[in-house]
Structure 1
């Protein structure tokens, strides 16, 4: 997973639970098959255990259904080291036949028009949800299929606390704050913050992008072109304002500055805290040791100003791609078509508990899906989602988590924090050579 900057991306790579990976080669008819008419594809995956487990379930099921195609899986590191390996192998013509990599802005850095097979109009994309395609596209051409599930960035909440206090899921920020007042009066910490793990401080800002897009539809394009700023766009600055407000009103738990993400999830599951701005991918790892997390923790998008425009921000799944250098294009496309199928979702469900909805038509969550995944599925089914900013703009800054810790601790005013982040992104935007910077 990636987020507003590489540090959070590295931290959350571990959480990108269903990040499939595949490797391939990609240009003409299938060649290089081994004896007996079997074609062998190489499939590159990152070395996170959840990814490896998911990839094994996927390839085993595919090979059982397609006995003439063998898939050999290889692994690579995650994070920036993995980025460099992918870029190097593409540039040297040494990429595997199919490979997994980020969707969104990091994909753009691979120069997909020159390095990847264009799948626009291909049957491999037949089942892919249309609103996923932009994050695996460049210049209107699509290059990948979704690997695994999306995850939500918003508010995890304790459903038992809500039931006990007779609360309803808020549709506006004012409703959210009213709920917090009632929760505080009941002696429960309304909002959990875990600033020892600094990356967790960013969710009020990053998870608010659905509301930014709803209020300022052109923000991502203008932000990328240096025509819009967080500090001067009220809807974009709201995330910083929210961080400051929950601190100023005394809604955080005691010791929030030294708390870890694991401690925050424990407080949430135990009902000692009611809300935790966080990613849905934090929940599945808890279920094995704390089964109540599957049913007691729910999810809602960060509420905005207008109940009629309520929705949620998604971190889209990674993509599976085919490099132009493959000599086994037909087999590689067949594999991608399988990855983007309901059958693949069934295979993945058996390997890893999904943290959110699939982005494939007809792909269903398992009957025992965790509540946060079901909640996210509702947002997707109702068309009330937007991808996080990092999926629609390459402009990121490395210091957001330090800035949000300071704002969320009452050390930096929100308007100043937003301005600091606007300045923070300049260096990277210039390094990318973006117009307008």
Structure 2
């Protein structure tokens, strides 16, 4: 299927080159006073209102440009289908994952390697784009970063005399103390399979080694070798959930945690706005997952959660670039990270929410590592496999399945 998409999209680029001369007038239409419509397609339903606000501001400043805010369910699947039909939106906002890698390799996006906008982006996030695509060229501008962190209820920690753990052993000891006090250490929401990913990403990223996926692609390692520790630790954490780990979903967990039904929540920082909606007065903190017993080796999982790419076949590339530059403006980027509780990929633009103070040292030191699942094709469906693991707790079966599925993907390339 990937080869088919790539071939179709390559054909689309040939067609677009042949028709380029006929589209020059359209590209500068807004400058000549004509009304131009561009499409901003993204995969962030929780950010739709924020983008609505920013788009309204952009359109007031640029009355000849209409921006359509498009955010369909299963956005990445929709995007790949549209790309195969040579119907790529003008501006695309997705994560730096395998979908972005596939589309970049197929030539769907403008080459931004030499774009001046990259000069103001933190190099670590530009490197992540190159790492996930395996390409030297850069086909998007990193915009915002998220982070996996253990969210904790400060009131419960104070009540039980707990301190933030720095090592794996301390982490388990804290969970044991919470459990011994008759409270729930972690609130799991495994009804939604994807909620297995935040904690597993943190465990894997801190134990797999720096070259795991390069070695895996060369056939020099396996999930059985590189992911055993992470998987065993994942199963260990399951001992500290509540009575209905499989009957509750993400929305349930946000509300339950907001009500004080657990001391910790193994999620990402994107959950914090939803928790505060349910309880504006809750006092929260966040700390990096302490995966090993060496705090100096702890890295915060923080990848490019949102990038901005411009379609190679856009009829209005100047207007598309103008919108991207608008979003990159410091004031507008600040609006996004404030409302979405995210970190900016832009140099010098900080996240000021005190709730996230526990993560700032990791950013300051550059102790960051990308989300491992960004390198695992969607066809493997890691979330569903992890969801099954929460039921049967069979580490060997899970690892064997991962290796088997990976070989299938490699065989289709």
TM-score range, shorter chain: 0.7 to 0.9
Q: Answer yes or no: is 1:400 the counterpart of 2:395.
A: no
TM-aligned CA distance change 1:370 to 1:419, over 3 Å: farther
Residue 426 (structure 1) aligned to one of 401, 407, 410: 407
The runs of 5 or more residues in structure 1 that have no matched partner are 1-24
Residue 383 (structure 1) aligned to one of 334, 343, 366: 366
TM-aligned CA distance change 1:201 to 1:42, over 3 Å: same
CA distance in 2, matches of 1:190, 1:112: 44
| Equivalent residue number for residue 340 of structure 1 | 328
Q: CA deviation at 1:70?
A: 1.7
| Equivalent residue number for residue 268 of structure 2 | 279
Contact 1:222 1:228 (8 Å CA) reproduced: yes
TM-aligned CA distance change 1:319 to 1:402, over 3 Å: closer
Contact 1:30 1:39 (8 Å CA) reproduced: no
Q: CA deviation at 1:41?
A: 5.1
Contact 1:407 1:417 (8 Å CA) reproduced: yes
TM-aligned CA distance change 1:192 to 1:348, over 3 Å: closer
Q: Answer yes or no: is 1:182 the counterpart of 2:177.
A: yes
Q: TM-score, normalised by structure 2?
A: 0.82
Q: Answer yes or no: is 1:53 the counterpart of 2:49.
A: yes
Q: CA deviation at 1:333?
A: 2.8
CA distance in 1, matches of 2:30, 2:304: 36
Residue 306 (structure 2) aligned to one of 311, 315, 318: 318
Q: CA RMSD in A?
A: 3.1
CA distance in 2, matches of 1:408, 1:126: 44
Q: How does 1:23-422 map to 2 (within 5 A)?
A: 31-34=27-30, 36-37=32-33, 40=36, 42-46=38-42, 49-64=45-60, 66-67=61-62, 70-79=65-74, 82-91=75-84, 93-112=86-105, 114-137=107-130, 138=133, 139-147=135-143, 149-212=144-207, 216-233=209-226, 236-247=227-238, 250-293=239-282, 295-348=283-336, 353-365=339-351, 367=352, 369=353, 371-372=355-356, 374-391=357-374, 393-395=375-377, 398-409=380-391, 411-422=392-403
* Structure with the largest fraction of helix: 2
Higher relative contact order (CA 8 A, sep 6+): 1
Contact 1:230 1:422 (8 Å CA) reproduced: yes
**Partner-residue secondary structure (3-state), 1:425:** helix
CA distance in 2, matches of 1:101, 1:402: 21
CA distance in 2, matches of 1:112, 1:263: 39
CA distance in 2, matches of 1:146, 1:39: 29
Q: CA deviation at 1:36?
A: 4.8
In the TM superposition, what whole-angstrom CA distance separates every residue of 1:292-320 from its partner, at most 9, and x where no partner exists?
34x32534324223211112112422221
**Partner-residue secondary structure (3-state), 1:338:** helix
TM-aligned CA distance change 1:397 to 1:305, over 3 Å: farther
CA distance in 2, matches of 1:35, 1:133: 32
Of 67-76 and 300-309, the range deviating more from structure 2:
67-76
Q: TM-score, normalised by structure 1?
A: 0.78
CA distance in 2, matches of 1:162, 1:426: 45
Contact 1:356 1:376 (8 Å CA) reproduced: no
Q: CA deviation at 1:86?
A: 2.9
Q: CA deviation at 1:399?
A: 4.9
TM-aligned CA distance change 1:404 to 1:88, over 3 Å: closer
| Equivalent residue number for residue 8 of structure 2 | none
CA distance in 2, matches of 1:429, 1:258: 35
TM-aligned CA distance change 1:30 to 1:172, over 3 Å: farther
CA distance in 2, matches of 1:325, 1:101: 18
Contact 2:43 2:76 (8 Å CA) reproduced: no
